[in-house]
Each structure stands twice: as structure tokens, then as C-alpha cells.
């Protein structure tokens, strides 16, 4: 059942393993991590207006000897900026900070506060039509909101970025996205470090002689989920990258699927669930 690393580098143009940059706010560390990851082989970088590091991410991309057209770059519009005029203004500001003419994917960060399906997604459609974004994404959308977004936007909804990991597998939401042809992108794919202490994941890691992080990322890949683990030090960036060559067998996947612990790491008061 496993897909070899040579088969999983891109899904509809999006590399299936990316670099997350949440909380990476030290300017030099952020830019250096992005550049290091790109030189290592990463081609997918994820940021957001709320991360307050778009300029540093852009600096890292500029430092790397990787052509801009080879980098899949995603950012997100924060919940205070989802009124149509604000969508336009803040996205243009994001592009300026990133030092690019367009991003490959722009997400609605949460369906909250200033979010109005028709007005917000209409503004995203305009950005798409004007060539400032290549794809429209949503983030933290539950099934009913996914359906509403699909029915509201003129351009296709490309991806839904959600918390997803072995402790929060999101089976129903993943199936719903698949039914609508929407890619699933996992943030916090290592459950903010909790996967390192899960016996089932530890056992699979020991079997293959790899880290628990690699096991979790390979498990997500088996579920057709793109993962964007946050990492700063080169060692962690490299370890996550090595997960591409780890093939889990049916027994491994079943063992992880059988974990009976469920835990959500991100649960703000404005969340839709």
C-alpha cells in the first residue's frame, strides 16, 4: 500500500511535505531555517499573517539557491482581515513582505470573526482572477463549512489545512474533503511533540530504526495528507525530511490507527467545532 518517495513529491502541484514556520519569529533563525530547508530539498513553505514572519520567510527564500518558481509558498489571511477590502490590502502587504508577485496558495486562516462566506471568498476569487494567488485554501473548516465554501467560491477550493496527527486523525473531515476533491494539509502533525511519548508510535519507530516524528509523518502520507511540521534546528528539519523514504507496512499503519487516545492541541474560543 505504501507509495515510494519518488511517487509522493507532489499532489496536484503541492509537495506533500513542507516546512511549517509557526512561532519561528527570530529573524535570523527563521530566514536561516527556510534557506536551509530549501537547500536540503524542501519545496513547500507555509506561513501566515498571524505568524509575524512573512518578511523573514521571504528573506529565506531569497537566500536559497532555489528558483522561486520551484517553491510552493502558502500564507494565510488572519480572521481580523477577512472583510473584502482587508483581504485585498493585507494580501498585497503579505506579498510585499514575502518579496513575491503571487503565492501558490492563500488560506482563510479560520472561519471566524470577519469571515463571511460570500464576501470573503468573493475577495479571494478576485485575487485569484487577478493572478495574485494561484490557489484558494481554507483552514480549520468543519464539514458543513467546507461544503458552504465549495458552493460559494467560483474558483476551486484547493486545500483545507487542519490539525491532524495520530492523536487526532480527523477521519470524517478527511473523507469529506476527499469527496470534494480538496487536499488536506496537516498542521501540528507531531501533536506538538506528544507523538514521541505514544507507545504504538514508539514501537513502530523502534522497528524501523527511525524517530517517532518520521513515523507520524509517514503515517500521514499514507492517509494522503500533506504535512507541514514546524522545525527550526537543522537536525529536526533533516529528520522530518528523512520521513519521505520511510515506508510503513499494513501492520504499522493498523497499529497507529488503533491508538485509542484522542487529543486536540489547538482549540481557541473562536474555533468552529
Which residues are annotated as catalytic?
51
d(CA 147, CA 152): 9
Task: Kindly give, in sequence order, each residue whose CB lies less than 8 Å from that of residue 27, ignoring residues fewer than 6 positions away.
Answer: 53, 55, 56, 59
Alpha helices in the chain (DSSP H): 27-40, 54-63, 84-98, 117-129, 143-152, 171-179, 199-208, 212-222, 234-242, 250-257
Distances (CA, A) of 143 to 170, 175, 207, 234, 273: 11, 9, 36, 37, 10
| DSSP state letters, 110-164 | -S-TT--HHHHHHHHHHHHHTTSBS-EEEES--HHHHHHHHHH-SSPEEEEEEE-
User: Is residue 195 within 8 Å of residue 167, measured between CB atoms?
Assistant: yes
Long-range (24+ apart) CB contacts under 8 A made by 66-70 are 66/38, 66/39, 68/100, 70/43
d(CA 265, CA 242): 25
Bridge partners for 107 per DSSP: 76, 137
User: Is residue 194 within 8 Å of residue 163, measured between CB atoms?
Assistant: no
Amino acid at each position: 500500500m505504501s507509495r515510494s518517495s519518488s511517487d509522493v513529491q507532489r499532489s496536484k502541484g503541492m509537495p506533500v511535505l513542507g516546512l511549517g514556520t509557526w512561532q519561528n519569529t527570530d529573524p535570523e533563525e527563521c530566514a536561516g531555517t527556510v534557506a536551509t530547508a530549501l537547500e536540503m530539498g524542501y519545496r513547500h513553505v507555509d506561513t501566515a499573517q498571524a505568524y509575524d514572519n512573512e518578511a523573514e520567510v521571504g528573506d529565506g527564500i531569497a537566500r536559497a539557491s532555489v528558483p522561486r518558481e520551484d517553491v510552493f509558498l502558502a500564507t494565510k489571511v488572519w480572521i481580523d482581515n477577512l472583510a473584502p477590502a482587508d483581504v485585498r490590502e493585507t494580501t498585497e502587504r503579505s506579498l510585499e513582505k514575502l518579496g513575491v508577485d503571487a503565492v501558490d496558495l492563500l488560506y482563510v486562516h479560520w472561519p471566524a470573526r470577519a469571515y463571511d462566506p460570500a464576501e470573503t471568498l468573493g475577495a479571494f476569487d478576485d485575487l485569484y482572477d487577478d493572478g495574485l494567488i494561484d490557489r484558494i485554501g481554507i483552514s480549520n473548516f468543519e464539514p458543513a463549512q467546507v461544503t458552504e465554501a465549495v458552493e460559494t467560491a467560483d474558483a476551486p477550493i484547493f486545500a483545507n489545512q487542519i490539525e491532524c496527527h495520530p492523536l487526532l486523525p480527523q477521519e470524517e473531515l478527511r473523507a469529506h474533503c476527499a469527496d470534494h476533491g480538496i487536499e488536506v494539509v496537516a498542521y501540528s502533525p507531531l501533536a506538538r511533540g506528544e507523538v514521541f511519548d505514544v507507545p504504538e508510535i514508539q514501537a513502530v519507530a523502534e522497528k524501523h530504526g527511525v524517530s517517532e516524528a518520521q513515523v507520524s509523518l509517514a503515517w500521514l502520507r499514507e492517509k494522503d495528507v500533506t504535512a507541514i511540521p514546524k522545525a527550526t534546528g537543522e537536525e529536526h528539519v533533516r529528520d522530518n525530511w528523512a520521513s519521505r523514504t520511510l515506508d510503513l507496512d499494513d501492520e504499522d499503519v493498523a497499529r497507529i490507527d488503533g491508538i485509542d487516545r484522542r487529543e486536540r492541541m489547538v482549540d481557541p474560543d473562536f474555533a468552529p467545532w
